[in-house]
Structure 1
């Protein structure tokens, strides 16, 4: 009997040790580092201080970057939801071999490095890129796209869209197509069928996809660094600058912890709101 009780613990132990070693311990060390004092002449000190957190939370420079990160992550999540949900619905109604081809098109970008895709978008959105050449051909003139928030959002949507489509498509696999046909037979319009039957089914997929897209967008580094330039910073590029350029590791650790806490609060709140609404609709 004792062996049976130990079996679940033994099965979970390798994964738990890996999680503790790769996530918990580095996170704890980062938190400890964020409270250490720093001097530009002598480096990291043994003294503990809350000054890094107070400095970040009271400085408009850092707050502006945090607000930009949050705003662009939310905008990317919204666009991915508006584009990805219809794509997933179309994918769920396709038949082979078109479904396999369409799925390959959606998952294809994941096979290419994010850095390569970012460089590709920098070439497309540059002053002499294909997008500006097309705009000039129709008489709209050159438009500054590179090193703007628009360029960051465009590239983030391209990178994050598969993470929205796949969860929604997976949720739609549980929906029997005959249920929609039955609703149409009973006189429901296509809009009513989508609103009363399809949307409740995909809500869990949308929730999962939104959480993934928001978390990855808020912590993205390569795309903001390559398409935003040195002046248009986001949270991840700010942390990188503090670590690698300023060598102020405690300040960089404090910024990273604040970004992590903000993401957790937003994602947990969003999850709670969606779950509450789902329970009310089912009740």
Structure 2
């Protein structure tokens, strides 16, 4: 095969890249075209070009609250998942191989269960008479049930449960590149395990933490089933608002405009985040 040395993998992957690019580009293009059309309650979608849908969304405080709520839930979910997944991956990397496999299977377990089944399980746990409120009441920590279902807190709890594994996998990959000799040297000089983690290990695995956080944020911002079941009809996020416009009011152009704005917002945040990851990686490698 002609070309520069080492270019064979790129040429071999081009058919798959072209296929996936086509499958991604076509729906996005159709959604973008639909978002600039108009909608009439009697005639349906009108093939006209207009920015009315975007001005309607950007100028309506109702959609402002939905986008801000989605951003808030996504950021909190990302922070909590990173705080849980980072030390979890570090602990897993230090277990014996037999126990490591079992614990890793437990961590990845949520990904093996249907999102609907998993979320329905959380509705049982988070309800006023659920196991969480019963346990807190039996321990004497609460006098009356805590409202967890149909709240942002409940949505965050359910999202963290399923998205933590993505942080664990990303941090685990970064930990494979950490030289254990540095940790042993610090321990031999009297440093505590906590100091070794925060001063030696964490700076080196920060690119993995940031990469996992990007994945968590993207998935949390676009999540539908979990916010719909845990948050209910009144606590809307962007994904459920899009669903309502498409299947509730049948205003497909407005729903498409909301979807485009969500994609643009998430892509912009992810690009800024990736820039931070690249700078951090360059600083670590440098």
Give the distance between the partners of 1:184 and 1:149, measured in 2 at CA.
Answer: 42
Evaluate the alpha carbon distance shift between residue 171 and residue 128 of structure 1 in structure 2; reply closer, same or farther with a 3 A threshold: same
1:217 counterpart = 2:217: no
Evaluate the alpha carbon distance shift between residue 145 and residue 8 of structure 1 in structure 2; reply closer, same or farther with a 3 A threshold: closer
Give the distance between the partners of 1:184 and 1:123, measured in 2 at CA.
Answer: 46
C-alpha RMSD over aligned residues: 1.8
Partner residue, 1:185: 188
Runs of 5+ in structure 1 lacking a partner?
Answer: none
Of 142-151 and 177-186, more deviation after overlay is shown by 177-186
Task: Give the 3-state SS of the residue equivalent to 2:48 in structure 1.
Answer: strand
Partner residue, 2:146: 143
Deviation at 1:145, TM superposition (A): 1.2
Deviation at 1:259, TM superposition (A): 0.5
Task: Select which of 148, 165, 170 maps to 1:167.
Answer: 170
Deviation at 1:4, TM superposition (A): 2.2
1:199 counterpart = 2:202: yes
Partner residue, 1:242: 245
Deviation at 1:13, TM superposition (A): 3.5
Give the distance between the partners of 1:123 and 1:32, measured in 2 at CA.
Answer: 41
Runs of 5+ in structure 2 lacking a partner?
Answer: none
The answer to whether the 8 A contact 2:206-2:280 is kept is no
Task: Give the 3-state SS of the residue equivalent to 1:4 in structure 2.
Answer: coil
Partner residue, 2:261: 258
Deviations 1:133-188 (A, max 9, x none): 12222331212211111110000000101011111011112223232011222344
- Structure 1 runs (4+) greater than 3 angstroms displaced: 5-10, 186-192, 277-283
**How many aligned positions are there?**
281
Partner residue, 1:131: 132
Task: Give the 3-state SS of the residue equivalent to 1:44 in structure 2.
Answer: strand
Partner residue, 2:54: 53
Of 31-40 and 192-201, more deviation after overlay is shown by 192-201
Evaluate the alpha carbon distance shift between residue 7 and residue 209 of structure 1 in structure 2; reply closer, same or farther with a 3 A threshold: closer
Deviation at 1:278, TM superposition (A): 4.4
Of 169-178 and 191-200, more deviation after overlay is shown by 191-200
